[in-house]
Structure 1
Amino acid sequence: MEKRVFKNIGKAISDFKLIEEGDRVLVAISGGKDSWVMMYVLEELRKRAPIKFELINVNIDQGYRGYRQDLIEDVVEEQGYDYAMEEFNIANIVAEKIRPGDVPCSLCARLRRGYLTGLAEKHNCNKIALGHHMDDFIETVLLNMFYVGKIASMAPKLTTETQKITVIRPLVYCEEEDIRRLCLKKGFPIVCCQCPLACGNNDALDSKRVFVKRLLKVLEGKIPNIRQSLLTSLGNLKPSHLLDRNYLP
């Protein structure tokens, strides 16, 4: 399982040229399983890679009471990794902007992405690594097809509008279950951001994504390789066989 995760991340880096000679990458670590595994594997690959690149592991305290940023700092310091602990009070901004009953997740995500871009510039990084995995890519394309009416997922590599910072997602080929098992094996502490919605047992918070996740689980019982097939389809488009008039003669 660990070898598979290393192989899949290495393949993603090679296929999409996610990390290149001279890069300085901000690795966004939240304290969740995905970012811990991403940090661990990238740090190990950095030691072995034939190219020279730098990593700085960055965590953001988002201002929610009870957040244990110290647990994350203890791990990265013990490992001897380059790191920075940052603070950005997203909790207060969300409280001011969101009306009672509204779900703040999209606003929170936009604020966090914008702040990460600023931190990348602050720490002289040209790339930001995020911990989205295979299941995230698959669920996102299905959500867009079911509820939005478009075929779109996430990009494994995306340059920001300013052209200064490139966002990379090295876990694109990694299944969530492999990541969960590797995180457990390495003993990384799971540190929740302490958002009362995100850290609660609240399926209604993202009921559409929960539905898609459960649907995939059911389909997997009938089609064992469905996740790999769906991911492969994202890189095997036939625009002339779709309904987008921009691609039709």
Structure 2
Amino acid sequence: MSTVLPLPLHDPTSRARDPRPAPPAAQRLGKRLRHQVGRAIADFGMIEDGDRVMVCLSGGKDSYTLLDILLQLQKKAPVSFSITAVNLDQKQPDFPEHILPAYLSSLGVDFHIIEQDTYSVVSRVIPEGKTMCSLCSRLRRGALYSYAEQHGFTKIALGHHRDDLVATFFLNMFFHAKLSGMPPKLRSDDGKHVVIRPLAYAAEADIAAYADAMAFPIIPCNLCGSQENLQRKQVQRMMDAWERESPGRIETIARALGDIRPSQLSDPKLFDFLALDAALPDAPRPQAQAWSTDDTGTAMS
């Protein structure tokens, strides 16, 4: 059962002020990340004037970086928008529940902690040794979407980065036989929520280096993150090997995801291959069965 804690008393439109000076390495990386995030926001129309952006904060390097960069961009953005950091406490054993509230309070950023024991549900339903990601992510998404709807957030910001987008593309191709990925911006299946991924152009290595330089209080995941048999980890190992052998390959693949040529693929739903025969515009189109029968008139399998 979900427990919704009271909203903090500080002004939800206030902008965070962090008195700590960023080290030189973080300043350089921060400049690059701000440029990449700003470009993604502009390219995909992620944030508009008056938006209330809910940043989903897990306690990992990606979501910390996402929140930090958005807070920096908020100060000089061409539009006015509010930011609220929201964490789902899934009641994992030994989860240090004091870390995020303390960190976020030190920034002065508006935040909220949702408490929902999804850990017990996943542990009870999923057999030992099986991957927990699918059910865990579904429960987590449901809790976050419900909170966003209840409190009128117009955008839900997630910390997925460039490498996540590429990995999802290969996961769908290798394990689900489809060319699809993780879009930088999408509307949820029920049409109620717009999800944005402002780190879509950012490399994981840069995010990891930035998080380290900024000394974010990382909270490791001991649920799904520790499972070595995940398909995603197989794909990640493949991508890591590619990057070692041919540096820059992941960036090339990421750019390719934004340059799709339907006529060069094989999906007749996306491209009208039948219309290419301009000499016979009105000719009847034979059904597939007519081309797939043997000499006896039986359809071939």
Matched positions, count: 244
Aligned to 2:249: 226
Aligned to 1:15: 43
Whether 2:174 is the aligned partner of 1:151: answer no
Alignment partner of 1:203 out of 222, 228, 237: 228
Whether 2:166 is the aligned partner of 1:138: answer yes
Give the share of equivalent positions with the same residue, in percent. Answer: 38
Query: Is the Cα contact below 8 Å between 1:28 and 1:35 reproduced in 2?
Result: yes
Instruction: Provide the aligned C-alpha RMSD in A.
Output: 1.4
3-state SS of 1:103 partner: coil
3-state SS of 1:243 partner: coil
Query: Is the Cα contact below 8 Å between 1:126 and 1:164 reproduced in 2?
Result: no
Alignment partner of 2:152 out of 113, 116, 124: 124
Letter in 1 for 2:89: D
Unmatched 5+ stretches in structure 2: 1-28, 275-301
Report the Cα distance in structure 1 between the residues aligned to 2:248 and 2:161, rounded to whole angstroms. 16
Aligned to 1:172: 200
Give the 4+ runs in structure 1 shifted more than 3 A: none
Q: What TM-score do you get using the length of structure 2 for normalisation?
A: 0.78
3-state SS of 1:177 partner: helix
- How far does residue 132 in structure 1 lie from its aligned partner after superposition? 0.4
Report the Cα distance in structure 2 between the residues aligned to 1:17 and 1:119, rounded to whole angstroms. 23
- How far does residue 244 in structure 1 lie from its aligned partner after superposition? 1.0
Alignment partner of 1:235 out of 258, 262, 266: 258
Aligned to 1:2: 30
- How far does residue 219 in structure 1 lie from its aligned partner after superposition? 2.0
CA displacement 1:13-46 (0-9 Å, x = unmatched): 0000111101001100000000000000111111
Report the Cα distance in structure 1 between the residues aligned to 2:124 and 2:244, rounded to whole angstroms. 45
Larger Rg computed on CA atoms: 2
- How far does residue 140 in structure 1 lie from its aligned partner after superposition? 1.0
Whether 2:120 is the aligned partner of 1:97: answer no
Task: Judging by fraction of residues, say which structure has more helix.
Answer: 1
Letter in 2 for 1:71: I
Query: Is the Cα contact below 8 Å between 2:30 and 2:69 reproduced in 1?
Result: no
- How far does residue 142 in structure 1 lie from its aligned partner after superposition? 1.2
Q: What TM-score do you get using the length of structure 1 for normalisation?
A: 0.93
Report the Cα distance in structure 2 between the residues aligned to 1:193 and 1:241, rounded to whole angstroms. 41
Aligned to 2:100: 72
Query: Is the Cα contact below 8 Å between 2:53 and 2:84 reproduced in 1?
Result: yes
CA displacement 1:103-127 (0-9 Å, x = unmatched): 2211000111111101111222011
- How far does residue 245 in structure 1 lie from its aligned partner after superposition? 2.0
Query: Is the Cα contact below 8 Å between 2:49 and 2:81 reproduced in 1?
Result: yes
